[in-house]
Structure 1
């Protein structure tokens, strides 16, 4: 087969055959298709799109490039959640043990943050001793003993996607719903979960800024899951304002523990419970314990402590804190009507909570504490943000972006936390 024929076919708007897709993904993974040739093909996909059959087969080809985990022999049904990323999105941390406390097994493969969005593994690595790298056998042991595991994806899972994502990142071909959907779903299907709930974020702090694009992405991913025999549903959820009141790795982890202890911010609790109910339903556990009850009676916290300890962490250890703090005061009196998620995420990144390159280290204690959320009354001179950083020279640039990221007494038209459901 000739790669030029595949490129030209997609360039001219034709549907690629299963044989063409299988060949080109495999050949690229083996290095038989050059980077510039795959760049041309992915750009043609950006412009021409893909049919459902093409997307499903493209995902299958990426799955076939590596190993697939299988946990079907576990005594519990498996279910997982994937979020498309946002600011203050620490939901995986309370969600995973809560679902485990209600009877499911959760094999959660997570990643590290890049840019203004935080990574779940970065947050968990704030815990002394906790480790992200587990073998498939190690995952299985913890799923059997604890019912929950959060760890890094091994290099053997969907290697074609890892190579293709790096190429898309430097060739302006990230913004393609078929390629985004197949990238996400190839990794999630490879982890061997029996059902999947997708949390597709919408708003300024999300990759998808408007509901129509987010809905298309959700439908595409649900279709891929369905075509591969995995019960898949998606929720569109708001990311115009950060989730919770803490943004930054150790700060968010502490807030997640508050939720597990029966407290925490209302929006974090609501989304945790909503997603947990969806995961249990997708796993067929319709008569399971209610997640809200698991948070109230301490069983979710018990599962959290077992999960952390099973990966070498000390759930009682103090979390790291930043060496320096600065308070930003409100400039006016009235009602806070806008708090831009992207601005807060960018501020946290400037404080050291995020990374510009994958190899960068993060400052675990860095971040932003929010003292008010949209709809709250504020007074001039009242603390609005607390900035946390190890180097005080970081404060001014973070404060500059925050100054443009909030508004008092403007128009107030918030998105509902859960916007829509697909599947």
Structure 2
């Protein structure tokens, strides 16, 4: 078997065998298949696509390229959640403890963020003492004892994906749906959960800008799950404007705590209910989405989700007083308002530009080596559909350094579109993809 022949067959639009895909992935990890050969193959995939079977084979070959976590020691049906990424996406901070409070074991492996703000792990490190590095046994024991754990990914989890993604990033082969789907699903499968719920974002602040493409990605990931024996459901949601009001690590932790107290933004609460309903259903805790939603609402209103977050933070060495008193979380030295240039209604907010503004202040990483400032970021004061008067604050920059403040202010001001007419608020959730099919609601 030769890499040349595999590349040629894919370039000609032929379906590769399971053995050919395994040979290519193993050879790339070992160094026997070169970067230029893998780049040629990735470009052929971008042009010709892959069948569901090929994509599932690629997913499993990458998942098997490194460590695979055995979670069989956790009682019950383990469920995990993954987001394709957005701006102000602090969903896991609310969802993990809330779902666990309803009786579903949540074993979540998370990565660090590269882009607008930190990942879930970075955000949790806003809490002094919080330990993100857990051994496999510590991880399993905590889920059994507490009901949930959020830990950093193993250094040798899916090395094939790490290597291939870095290559795709510099060869214009990132935006291939089979390659995106296999990248995401290989990490989830290696992570050991029995079931996975995906939040596939669509819009200006998402990786998938086009709604039809977002549904295609969701359908492909659900199909991969079916092929490899995992139950998967995907919610397709809106990321044209940021989720909630806070964008930045400690700022998002504080907003998540407010949501678990029942006083958070309605869009954040609603997406957590949508995703949580699917998690409880797949975990076998609730018979259907409607029953699951009622369970989640009861747990939220009774404060059980907040108590579970405190319990999880304490179990991982964090100081629970920061959850009880979020004012103690890291804070920026000053707040700089961004005023509305005219009166009218907010017609659109470019989520990507808001995210870039937060990153310029230090809330995210421009490179892997960048250090995150946990206290800085952006807080929106107006969202789509809100009326605004000239000179009224649209948003605030939470700042520790003046270095890129002007650029961040310009980005944030430019993210808002104000007009004389109040437009209808865009839908938050566009639809649901499960093993039973696709439902498009908007």
TM-score, normalised on structure 1?
Answer: 0.97
Q: Name the structure 2 match of 1:104.
A: 104
Match of 2:367 among 351, 357, 360: 357
Contact 1:62 1:158 survives alignment (8 Å): yes
- Output the CA distance in 2 between the equivalents of 1:99 and 1:72: 20
Which piece of structure 1 moves more, 9-18 or 84-93? Answer: 9-18
Q: Name the structure 1 match of 2:300.
A: 295
- Report the alpha carbon displacement of residue 112 of structure 1 after superposing the two structures with TM: 1.5
Residue 327, structure 1, aligned to residue 301, structure 2:
no
Q: Name the structure 2 match of 1:250.
A: 250
Deviations 1:351-402 (A, max 9, x none): 1111111121111011001111111111111111110121023221011112
Match of 1:416 among 413, 422, 427: 427
- Output the CA distance in 2 between the equivalents of 1:102 and 1:71: 20
Which piece of structure 1 moves more, 200-209 or 162-171? Answer: 162-171
- Output the CA distance in 1 between the equivalents of 2:236 and 2:425: 14
Which piece of structure 1 moves more, 317-326 or 188-197? Answer: 317-326
Question: 2:171 is paired with a residue of what secondary structure?
Answer: coil
Deviations 1:333-356 (A, max 9, x none): 121111111111111011111111
Q: Name the structure 1 match of 2:74.
A: 74
Contact 2:114 2:367 survives alignment (8 Å): yes
- Report the alpha carbon displacement of residue 413 of structure 1 after superposing the two structures with TM: 4.8
Match of 1:387 among 386, 397, 401: 397
User: Which runs of 5 or more residues in structure 1 are unaligned?
Assistant: none
- Output the CA distance in 1 between the equivalents of 2:211 and 2:166: 27
- Report the alpha carbon displacement of residue 227 of structure 1 after superposing the two structures with TM: 1.1
Question: 1:307-346 maps to which residues of 2 (within 5 A)?
Answer: 307-317=312-322, 318-346=328-356
Deviations 1:196-228 (A, max 9, x none): 111000100000011100011001000011111
Contact 1:88 1:118 survives alignment (8 Å): no
TM-score, normalised on structure 2?
Answer: 0.93
Which piece of structure 1 moves more, 236-245 or 113-122? Answer: 113-122
Residue 238, structure 1, aligned to residue 238, structure 2:
yes
Q: Name the structure 1 match of 2:49.
A: 49
Please report the RMSD computed on the Cα atoms of aligned residues, expressed in angstroms: 1.3
Q: Name the structure 2 match of 1:273.
A: 273
Question: 1:3-402 maps to which residues of 2 (within 5 A)?
Answer: 3-116=3-116, 118-286=118-286, 290-317=295-322, 318-402=328-412
Give the direction of change, closer, same or farther, for the CA distance of 1:160–1:286 in structure 2 (3 Å limit).
same
User: Which runs of 5 or more residues in structure 2 are unaligned?
Assistant: 323-327, 435-442
- Report the alpha carbon displacement of residue 70 of structure 1 after superposing the two structures with TM: 2.5
